[in-house]
Amino acid sequence: MAKRDYKTVSEWKKAYRDKAKLMNDRGYRELQPKEFYRAIFPEGSLQSREHDGKGNIIATQIRPSGKGRTKQWVIDDSLDMLDKVIGDSFGLIPPLSFYGKTHTKGNAHQLFAMAIDIDYVGLQQLKNMLKQFGNGVQLCPTFLVSSGKGVHLYYLLKEPVELYANREKLLSALKEDFIRRHWNDTSSIRPDNPDITGVYQGFRCVGSLSKFGEGYPVRAWQLCDSSYTLEEIKASMPLCKIDLSPLYQKPPKKQGKHTLEEAKELYPEWYQSKIVEGKPLKKTWTCNTALYEWWKGKMGGEVKVGGRYFSIMALCAYGLKCGVPEKQIRQDAYGFLERLDSLTEDEDNHFTREDVKDALKALKADNKLLSTMASREWIEKQTKVPIPPNKRNGRKQAIHVKYMNNQRAFKVEMGECTNGGRPEMSKIVEEWRKAHPDGRKADCIRETGLSKPTVYKWWK
């Protein structure tokens, strides 16, 4: 039987109704919103009104550009504040708890369920999934949520998983494998571009509206009574090679805090270097702006639907690596808006100014560590733009480094560049002083970007 390819909104709305009828006809119990979230977050698992130190749910209300600000609601163990997003046009709730009042990974506390999103699920695709859940081909989710065109599969965890920072990479890798196993040509009309999301991803709130609007709420059904461990989720994927043992290693302890006077006695070298001489805490380097311009070229021709948001984040990463001013990065990002929106395949999935604005938050996040986190592999995977690695022509890395160093030394000998490929610090200071005979050290530091100790060292 050929797959049904739903093309119009009216066809997808009919599929939404047909899928709900199928779930009810097969006897699956539908859960009301608060009943669903009570099952995900059992009573006593969230902070009480007495503020007992536990985490909270953070619900996010998204507003279209120009129609109000995005809001975040703190939902404690009473679940009373769920009413703020039930019935809302676009409310998101991740299956995890947070400390604090904002949905940030730094505030993430515990993961209560592994949830994945399968998009473009028609009636036949839902039938295929239910059959595979029943015969054991795929691990049966505890809950299935109809979100509009797609479904969300929730695998309730037997015990919440602590979201230490050192666990993020491993949990994201496990979730990616799980998504790729479930998002295939039997479960989705468009199997080739699975939406890979991280562990902190929010999902449309049960009881809020789907993309289809009024009369088409997000609905949830219970498929089984099972809950799972991460080992059982991994075991459901025969080809999964992820090592879960690091999950059971204690996170490294943070170094104790000391007063400045104590630090001076305990760490004299650090004190001399960082406090007295003012050397930066972290060593950084600046890439040639050609790298930034190269990525702009990629955005102009190779980015596709599914990678648009992350292409803006990558623009931020390359801009930070290349020392491009934030104002210029923002201007360039909005300059790509029309091009990225022109790629839209579905009328309810336009790329908007709000999407650009949200992606540009990367410029402020985590003290700009994005510039080092965004590796070639990460950018390639998230943006779906091929980025071949630099060729070593068969040489091992150590041999290749030696080869490149010899090449650089030869260029120095020929007078093409100074060793290291950049002007000597003394030359920079000397040239600046020639151009500014009455200039101050502070001005030189600001205009050249050199560190204070470097300018003071070569100020003759």
Q: How far apart are CA 102 and CA 87, in angstroms?
A: 21
Question: Which of 60, 55, 157 has the alpha carbon at shortest distance from 97?
Answer: 55
Beta strands (DSSP E) in 103-254 are: 108-118, 143-146, 151-162, 203-204, 219-222
User: So what's the pLDDT on residue 416?
Assistant: 47
List the 57-61 sheet strands across, edge first. 71-75, 57-61, 91-93, 203-204
List the 29-31 sheet strands across, edge first. 29-31, 219-222, 143-146, 151-162, 108-118, 96-98
Q: Which residues contact 177 (CB under 8 A, 6 or more apart)?
A: 237, 240, 242
User: So what's the pLDDT on residue 92?
Assistant: 92
The amino acid occupying position 23 is M
Task: Spell out the per-residue pLDDT of the chain, length 460, in tens.
Answer: 445 566 788 999 999 999 999 999 999 999 999 999 999 999 999 988 776 678 999 998 887 654 556 788 899 999 999 998 998 888 899 999 998 888 888 889 999 999 999 999 999 999 999 999 999 999 999 999 999 999 999 999 999 999 988 888 999 999 999 999 999 999 999 888 888 888 999 999 999 999 898 999 999 999 999 999 999 999 999 999 999 988 877 655 555 556 666 676 667 776 666 666 655 555 555 677 888 899 999 998 888 888 898 899 889 888 888 888 888 999 999 999 988 988 887 776 788 888 888 788 777 755 445 655 567 887 888 888 888 876 655 555 556 566 666 665 555 444 444 444 445 677 788 887 887 878 888 888 877 777 787 888 888 7
Helices (H), 249-303: 260-266, 268-270, 289-301
What is the H or E stretch that residue 60 is in? strand 57-61
Question: Which of 251, 284, 256 has the alpha carbon at shortest distance from 369?
Answer: 284
User: So what's the pLDDT on residue 422?
Assistant: 46
| Tally of CA atoms within 13 A in the half-sphere of 448 that contains its CB | 26
Question: Which of 218, 172, 206 has the alpha carbon at shortest distance from 41?
Answer: 206
Question: Which of 221, 33, 247 has the alpha carbon at shortest distance from 144?
Answer: 221
What is the H or E stretch that residue 29 is in? strand 29-31
**Sign of torsion, CA 345 348 352 357?**
negative
Question: How far are the Cα atoms of 81, 94, 148, 181, 277 from residue 91, in angstroms, in the given order?
Answer: 12, 10, 14, 27, 50
